[in-house]
Chain A
Amino acid sequence: MVRYILKRFFMMILTIWIIATLTFVLMNAIPGSPFNEERTSNEAVQENLERHFNLDEPPIVQYFIYLKSIATLDFGPSIKKPNSTVNDLLGRGFPISAELGIIAILVALLSGIVLGVLAALRHNGIIDYLAMTIAVLGISIPNFVLATLLIQQLAVNGGFFPVATWQSPMHMVLPTLALATGPMAIIARLTRSSMLEVLTQDYIKMARAKGLAPYKVVIKHALKNALMPVVTILGTLLAGILTGTFVIEKIFAIPGMGKYFVESINQRDYPVIMGTTVFYSAFLVFALFLVDIAYGLLDPRIKLHKEEGN
């Protein structure tokens, strides 16, 4: 197990390094610089600024300065927001984004699994059709459309929820709904189909032949086996939720990380681009690692270490 984790950790570092390098190359490939639009500054000021941010160095030197900043986890000051460092921005934005993301993924998982299980148990019944209609709608409506629709119907017309921002639990309802619906739909469909398959297995019949209560048969015997495919796509879904937060945060004016991420690219705020990208990728890579660990917990046949393998 320890060897497996060490190996994975090394792979994670490698992945992040590749992402960081690609980001650096792309960043340098975008035309323009952070100071282009500022017409007021004269050339001397601009040169000073560039020197201050090491932008006068050749790209290869910049690259190593950049790698060093990743290694030390200190991304330096933001170019566009001179009063805060990149770490400040991350520290401010991440908790909000994480809150939104975690609530959304929990809502998606819980409602998706419940919906999928109900649909499977009432196969070809009304609940099944209802659940699958919700699922198809959820998959086909993009989250930004859903977000605007929710704002218009439930906030502006209905007045049930605040229109935007992130303050009280009431503020969280609409963004969470908008963000969670897509993943929920995917989870529901997947849970349903894999539940349907598992329910025909001999060990389910065996569990019923033992005279177990129906809920025990479903939850203990069927669901645990049916969740494997859900865990498999959890990694992808996390990535989806992550990118979803960019859009949702923008629509609901939530001061999370996504805002800084998008702004930094538009403004060529190099340190912030690097900081947020590396942070996001590290987060995602770590989440995928957790998903792999979860496999082993759910299914004892999957071994994470080679020593016992055959």
Chain B
Amino acid sequence: MKKILEVNDLHVTFSTYGGEIKAVRGVDFELHEGETLAIVGESGCGKSVTANSIMRLIPSPAGKIANGEIIFKGNDLAKESDKNMRKIRGVDISMIFQDPMTALNPTLTIGNQLTEGLRQHKNVSRKKAEQKALEMLDLVGIPNPEERLKQYPHQFSGGMRQRIVIAIALICEPDLLIADEPTTALDVTIQAQILELFETIQEETNVAIILITHDLGVVAKAADRIAVMYAGKIIESGTKYEVFYEPQHPYTQGLLNSIPRLDQKGEKLEPIDGTPPDLFSPPVGCPFTARCPHAMFVCEKVYPLRHEPSETHYADCWLYDERVHTPNLMNKKEETT
């Protein structure tokens, strides 16, 4: 499998009146053709910002990529000019948004919104563009595409609209699709349909997908690999099975414990207590220290070294360090304070 995207040490900051928010603080990951990477984490952990940075769609001038590389097919997107980015957006990298009710322009027909990207980038005739649009609507499973092309977004249901958004994203045959919470605004049956649609599309076009979500159910169904984000960092990453069956980081364990399970009757859900840290002045050590049941003295002082149980799996946590058993240095936090 060819590697198409490599993100190295990505830092994104937003300057506000209150100071500088460090939304993404050194994220690394890579993505191969035909692969689905799920980035999970709670609200505000920086997963959407990461996705928007790849598209270079973070609101400027407030937000900026402070450091790092986004290597896409050999080019560093972080340093690309706006003009060149416009040639990449929609053609090589496409994006799907969370709420299909607001992602389509209410005053333009579906046909217009489907074909405009194609006409902008590929310089095709109106007729050919419409032909392609019909194919796309067919691919995403919208009946009567000829008729539908002339209709406006308000004449479609939420699930249908998300299918159209997906069709728009795929019409220029991108190599990378970024789906920012594509199923969050949909009800469960439609969610399943959309996820199945992703699978079909991936089989047919071999597109790589970055799936951003906070829904672990969606991850279990759709992802190949998982990156768990917390406070602007990826704290654990591995294949779907590794992360679900052998979660290493206490945060990942906490996330998995807080999902209701059908096979364990009557047990109470265990929420993770507390809130994520303030990203105006993020902690130097592990950002999860304050909420971690296993927090040690070292955790809040030094960012953990990477623990790698397998080639594809890593977690940033001190618990797996050999020196954890050394007295004094690694005492449980409660005992020392």
- Residues on A lying within 8 angstroms of B by beta carbon are 201-203, 205-213, 216, 220-221, 224-225, 298-301
For the complex formed, measure the closest distance between the CB of A223 and the CB atoms of chain B, giving whole angstroms.
10
Lowest 10 A-B CB distances belong to which pairs? A211-B89, A211-B90, A210-B117, A210-B90, A202-B102, A203-B105, A300-B152, A209-B95, A202-B103, A211-B86
A209 with B106: CB separation less than 8 A:
no
Question: What are 7 pairs between A and B in contact, CB < 8 Å?
Answer: A202-B98, A205-B97, A210-B116, A211-B86, A211-B121, A221-B108, A224-B107
Interface centre among A206, A216, A220, A221 (most CB of B within 10 A): A206
B87: A residues at CB distance < 8 A: 211
A interface secondary structure, majority: helix
Interface centre among B87, B90, B98, B168 (most CB of A within 10 A): B90
Interface size class on chain B is: 20 to 34
The residue of chain A having its C-beta at the shortest distance from the C-beta of B120 within the complex is: A212
Q: Tell me the bound Cα distance from A12 to B95 in angstroms.
A: 49
A301 with B106: CB separation less than 8 A:
yes
Contact of B105 among A209, A213, A225, A298 (CB under 8 A): A225
Knowing A211-B88, A225-B107, A301-B152 are in contact, say whether A216-B120 is a contact too (CB < 8 A). yes
For the complex formed, measure the closest distance between the CB of A208 and the CB atoms of chain B, giving whole angstroms.
6
Q: Which of B86-139 contact A (CB under 8 A)?
A: 86-91, 94-95, 97-99, 102-109, 116-117, 120-121
B154 CB-CB contact with A under 8 Å = yes
B99: A residues at CB distance < 8 A: 202
For the complex formed, measure the closest distance between the CB of B248 and the CB atoms of chain A, giving whole angstroms.
35
B97 with A206: CB separation less than 8 A:
yes
Q: Tell me the bound Cα distance from A212 to B86 in angstroms.
A: 7
B165 CB-CB contact with A under 8 Å = yes
A301: B residues at CB distance < 8 A: 106, 152, 154
Q: Tell me the bound Cα distance from A19 to B94 in angstroms.
A: 58
B10: A residues at CB distance < 8 A: none
Knowing A211-B121, A213-B86 are in contact, say whether A206-B104 is a contact too (CB < 8 A). yes
B168: A residues at CB distance < 8 A: 206, 210
For the complex formed, measure the closest distance between the CB of B175 and the CB atoms of chain A, giving whole angstroms.
14
For the complex formed, measure the closest distance between the CB of A279 and the CB atoms of chain B, giving whole angstroms.
35
B95: A residues at CB distance < 8 A: 206, 209
The residue of chain B having its C-beta at the shortest distance from the C-beta of A222 within the complex is: B105
Knowing A206-B165, A212-B116, A216-B120 are in contact, say whether A299-B106 is a contact too (CB < 8 A). yes
Knowing A208-B89, A225-B107, A301-B152 are in contact, say whether A213-B102 is a contact too (CB < 8 A). no
B57 CB-CB contact with A under 8 Å = yes
B108 with A220: CB separation less than 8 A:
yes
Q: Tell me the bound Cα distance from A201 to B105 in angstroms.
A: 9
B94 with A209: CB separation less than 8 A:
yes
- Residues on B lying within 8 angstroms of A by beta carbon are 55, 57, 85-91, 94-95, 97-99, 102-109, 116-117, 120-121, 152, 154, 165, 168-169
Knowing A205-B97, A300-B152, A301-B152 are in contact, say whether A210-B89 is a contact too (CB < 8 A). yes
Contact of A209 among B57, B104, B108, B154 (CB under 8 A): B57
B120 with A211: CB separation less than 8 A:
yes
B107 with A202: CB separation less than 8 A:
no
For the complex formed, measure the closest distance between the CB of B85 and the CB atoms of chain A, giving whole angstroms.
8
Q: Tell me the bound Cα distance from A210 to B87 in angstroms.
A: 9
A221 with B105: CB separation less than 8 A:
yes
For the complex formed, measure the closest distance between the CB of A120 and the CB atoms of chain B, giving whole angstroms.
14
Q: Tell me the bound Cα distance from A223 to B201 in angstroms.
A: 34
For the complex formed, measure the closest distance between the CB of A126 and the CB atoms of chain B, giving whole angstroms.
14
For the complex formed, measure the closest distance between the CB of A301 and the CB atoms of chain B, giving whole angstroms.
5
Q: Tell me the bound Cα distance from A55 to B91 in angstroms.
A: 79
Contact of A211 among B102, B117, B165 (CB under 8 A): B117
Contact of B91 among A206, A211, A220 (CB under 8 A): A211
Contact of A298 among B55, B103, B107, B165 (CB under 8 A): B107
Q: Tell me the bound Cα distance from A162 to B6 in angstroms.
A: 69
Name 14 extra pairs, CB < 8 A, besides A202-B97, A206-B97, A209-B89. A201-B102, A203-B104, A205-B57, A206-B105, A208-B89, A209-B97, A211-B91, A211-B121, A212-B86, A212-B120, A213-B120, A224-B105, A224-B108, A301-B152
B152 with A209: CB separation less than 8 A:
no
Interface centre among A205, A210, A212 (most CB of B within 10 A): A210
For the complex formed, measure the closest distance between the CB of A303 and the CB atoms of chain B, giving whole angstroms.
10
A209: B residues at CB distance < 8 A: 55, 57, 89-90, 94-95, 97, 169
B107 with A299: CB separation less than 8 A:
yes
For the complex formed, measure the closest distance between the CB of A167 and the CB atoms of chain B, giving whole angstroms.
43
Knowing A211-B117, A211-B120 are in contact, say whether A203-B90 is a contact too (CB < 8 A). no
Q: Tell me the bound Cα distance from A203 to B103 in angstroms.
A: 4
A202: B residues at CB distance < 8 A: 97-99, 102-103
Q: Tell me the bound Cα distance from A203 to B108 in angstroms.
A: 11
A206 with B89: CB separation less than 8 A:
no
Q: Tell me the bound Cα distance from A145 to B86 in angstroms.
A: 49
For the complex formed, measure the closest distance between the CB of B158 and the CB atoms of chain A, giving whole angstroms.
13
For the complex formed, measure the closest distance between the CB of A1 and the CB atoms of chain B, giving whole angstroms.
17
B107: A residues at CB distance < 8 A: 224-225, 298-300
A211: B residues at CB distance < 8 A: 85-91, 117, 120-121
A207: B residues at CB distance < 8 A: 105
